[in-house]
Chain A
Amino acid sequence: MSVSDAVVPAVDDATPRPEPGLALGERLSDRLNPILVREVQQALNGRSFVATLALALLGIVVTALVVASEGDLGRAEGRDAFVLALQVLAPILLLVVPFQAYLSMRQEVAHGTVEHLLLSRLTSGAIVRGKLAAATVQALLFLAVFAPLVALTWLLRGVDVPTIAFVLGLAFVYAFGAAALAVAMGALSRWAPVRALPMLVLAVGLCVVTIGFVGGMPFIVRDLTSVLRDPDFGLQVLSVLVGPVVVGSILLGLVASNSLAHPHENRSTSFRVFALACVLLGLAWVAYVVPSVRGLPSRVGWSALVPFAAAAGVCLFPFWWFAVTEDEALSPRVRTLVPRSPILAAMEIPLLPGGGRGLLFTLLLCATTLGGAALGLVLADAWGSAYDRSWIVALGLWGYVLLYAGLGRILRGRLPRGSRGTVVARVAMPLMIGILALLPVVVDLIVRGRSWEWTPMHVLSPVSTIDHALRGARSGRGGPALYSGVDEAYGWLGAVTVLVLLVNVPAMIRGAVEVMRASRIRRARPR
């Protein structure tokens, strides 16, 4: 029984009227994200958007007047006018639009309206996508507003179409990244005790990007665009400029989406998939882009895969840190999302929330990164070109990733269930890593009287151990004692890591069994 059928029999008039047809815009808007539709309506009804638009138009008029006052207009003036126009546009795209997105998300969170939205069919991801889409529409609108001025600079022959396309495209990508940062910081404002921190991060981040863009605009227009035209460097430079912003925007979107979701929902899998995708994309980027750099032997270029694999171990710290410190058990809501198919369920084990599964995820990350680098070298027939020292560092760093992840999982297992235990584990784990890394140095300094000679105790510290391994490799080069230091240090590291992983085996098995059981229960239920 619908409200219209049952509850509202006495609508104003008794005689039914033919329903008016829906306007095309109304019908089209049904296909859009509801948040986008609402934000556009709010912007059109509100004052801040109109004020910003008026300011932008004023900026265009002033810029045009400044250009016109030059008198003898030529090619150089055209380029200067383009730079000036972009310098006026950049603060709007990188500061004003993102800040409005931040305020919108922050109000949503502070007023509790996010909960109302989550009771509808909107997911936290749809809310974030809607906010980003609204910011994107605003950014595109301001770009359109500046179009006549940009056209004027082109007519003055100061800039050509590829330059205009590149600069505006770059501004748009960075504006999107800034909006993603703003939406994420707005979503993180949910936790009142640290509400000022996201605001601070956003203010600093947006100011740095804006100042960099405005200050660097002459360089971007004059030099960067010419570098991009270089067939040997263009793609590499473009990927370096755009790639991190795109990847960062996706990550910030995930942060925003997951911070809006209820703690009992699955807030882990998307990050785990993202981390694995980053590793694969990163390996592909290194394999495709670096060897194509002009003047670099192909085999040497491929060897960059190994330093990349080493760096990934450190850069992915937030992912495995959060994964191994999660509550062990699946929440009832997540259990219902486990695939019915046992094969798919088994494949999903490392990607589902839970500390034991988090350690499996860390192992998967390690295997993907190191295995991918090794496979790349083999396929490119560049195995021998990888510097041994790079491999020593990569293996050492990943050894410590597994060791610390295992210790972190043990720590979380000893704390009470629930969010409080998770928070304590997440604070304690970096402290534990710091103490373990510093302990051998302190003992050297105080107990052993400044003797820096490596002992098994140093296996706790990645700095001492990897340094010892590198020294061993260097001193042993060419002689019978080749890699003696590596053998000694990494022998201990391997033993300790295997021991810690063995202690964690029951937790990993429990994590896998829980997923398979949830899958079996789902299969037993009628669809």
Chain B
Amino acid sequence: MSETALLDVRGVTRTYGKLRAVSDLSFSLAPGQVVGFIGPNGAGKTTTMRILATLDLPDEGDAFVDGRSVLVEPRAVRRRVGFMADTFVPWANLDVLQFLDFVARAHGLRGRARVRAVRSVASFCGLLEFADRPASGLSKGMGQRLHLAKTLLHDPSLLILDEPTAGLDPRARIEFRDLVGELAAAGKGILISSHILTELAESCDSILVIERGQRVVAGSIQEIARGLAPHRRVGVRVAGDAGEALKFLLTQPGVREAAADGSAIGFDFEGDEEALAGLLARAVGAGLKVFEFHAAVADLEDIFLRTTKGRLQ
């Protein structure tokens, strides 16, 4: 196990009859790191998350949270993990604070520690002003905040969030993303799955793509994008004669397949950020009136579409 790993998954395999839901999956996660867990429907994300939350057992392999095995030390793992499942039905006839109070009691918090934890978590999740509202009558966005608050009550070091923003409106998603950012800044490791890839791209340090239970690719979005596409598409707009600019660009190293369309020129560029900055400097130095210069980076959706085949199992 890596010295700094908060979560260390080693060769986890889970089968249901003939279906291999998760197959020899390994990855790790450090404190304060946010890892996006991506895959098509049925890829094995929820199964993996349930195993990490000790709700299921791997047939082979093991996973360690803070050095504790999910196989043989489930209670110790549960104290360290906050699992936010993809479904959440609050208990009826409880208001928000009563709901959190019950969960705190269930986690063994007693006396003032319980009251303090409930209030601070409710405050952090922006629930204090809804304290007297029925927990089952909250909006979807507030319900997810309540779900997150419930997950945080026992102060876990690892958060496993299974599609936490599904069904939320854009504002609620942004607010939720900010909460995740704050939690990561506080040193909590976060494994988060979502089908809203743009959102994951903004909140995750790295991603893990799985398909048919197997790891397809893992790493930071930039690293993966670079690995997938060594060329980057660059767009330039110039004031004046685009033909001159096109001629200049075609003489530059790393520039390929340049074409002009009115004042806009598009080309493929092979090289790193420094080489690209050098090209821009030379263009300006050559007297080209550049008023727009942008390099398109492969986004998470590109990565997802390129790395997965959409095979169902």
Residues of chain A touching chain B, judged by Cβ–Cβ distance below 8 Å, are: 1-4, 6-8, 11-12, 19, 22, 26-27, 30, 34, 37-38, 41-43, 45-46, 107, 111-113, 115-122, 262, 264, 331-333, 335-336, 420
Contacts and interface: CB of A to CB of B under 8 A. Distances in A.
B186 A34 contact: no
Interface string B88-106: 0101111100100011011
B72 A46 contact: no
A30 B105 contact: yes
Given A3-B117, A3-B152, A420-B17, A120 B78 contact: yes
A42 B90 CA distance: 12
Contacts of B107: 120-121
A118 B73 CA distance: 14
A153 B182 CA distance: 66
A107 B102 CA distance: 17
A3 B115 CA distance: 13
Contacts of B182: 7
Given A12-B128, A335-B72, A38 B57 contact: no
A8 B154 CA distance: 14
B187 interface: yes
Contacts, number: 120
A12 B123 contact: yes
Contacts of A11: 119-120, 123-124
Given A42-B93, A332-B57, A420-B17, A3 B155 contact: yes
B93 A262 contact: no
Which 7 residue pairs are nearest across A and B when measured between Cβ atoms? Answer: A34-B105, A6-B186, A120-B106, A4-B120, A111-B89, A45-B93, A8-B124
B243 to A, nearest CB: 57
Contact of A38 (B75, B102, B123, B128): B102
Contacts of A331: 57
Given A3-B152, A7-B182, A333 B71 contact: yes
5 contacts: A2-B155, A19-B112, A42-B94, A332-B71, A332-B72
B64 interface: no
A3 B124 contact: yes
Contacts of B120: 3-4, 8, 11
Contacts of A332: 57, 71-72
A27 B53 contact: no
A30 B57 contact: no
B186 A38 contact: no
B106 A34 contact: yes
Contacts of A34: 102, 105-106
A22 B110 CA distance: 11
Interface string B185-212: 0111000000000000000000000000
B114 A30 contact: yes
A344 to B, nearest CB: 19
Nearest to B129: A12
B55 A41 contact: no
A264 B154 contact: no
Nearest to B106: A120
B121 interface: yes
Contacts of A118: 55
A30 B71 CA distance: 31
B105 A37 contact: yes
* B57, B89, B91, B106: most-surrounded residue (chain A CB, <10 A): B106
A117 B85 CA distance: 12
A102 to B, nearest CB: 15
Contacts of A264: 57
B108 A121 contact: yes
A4 B105 contact: no
B22 interface: no
B87 interface: yes
B294 interface: no
B187 A4 contact: no
Nearest to B123: A11
Contacts of A121: 75, 78, 106-108
